[in-house]
Amino acid sequence: MKTITEWQKILKAGADEKFPDNALGTFNRIASLQEQLDDIQSACAVEKGTLTSSDHAHQDADHRIGALIADALILAEERGADIENELEKVLGWFTK
């Protein structure tokens, strides 16, 4: 099983390979995360039947959650963040 650090590196490399001219930068990556959140919200509404949408991004909430996590890990890699360490801190906060 890959560590979160490994996922950060692999996803960043994959994004760079797929979009070589698309170095998003911090604020554009954050905007992408917001778009993913919006897609998750719409996909969940489609699942519940409260929204009808033919947009591919609104057909699979689980896939959109995966894309959100990937974007977050790419942002973390771009920032040089140690997410494994940060998750330990967050878990500590949750369990206090």
- Tell me which long-range contacts 29-32 makes (C-beta under 8 A, separation of at least 24): 29/71, 29/74, 29/75, 29/78, 30/75, 32/71
Q: Return the percentage of the chain with pLDDT > 90, whole number.
A: 81
Helical segments of 1-96, H only: 4-18, 26-48, 61-79, 83-95
DSSP annotation of 56 reads G
Domain spanning 4-95, CATH class: mainly alpha
DSSP annotation of 49 reads T
User: What is the pTM (predicted TM-score) of this model?
Assistant: 0.88
Tell me the mean pLDDT in the region 53-57. 90
67 versus 26: the higher-pLDDT residue is: 67
Domain extents for the chain? Answer: 4-95
Say if CB 74 and CB 11 are below 8 A apart. yes
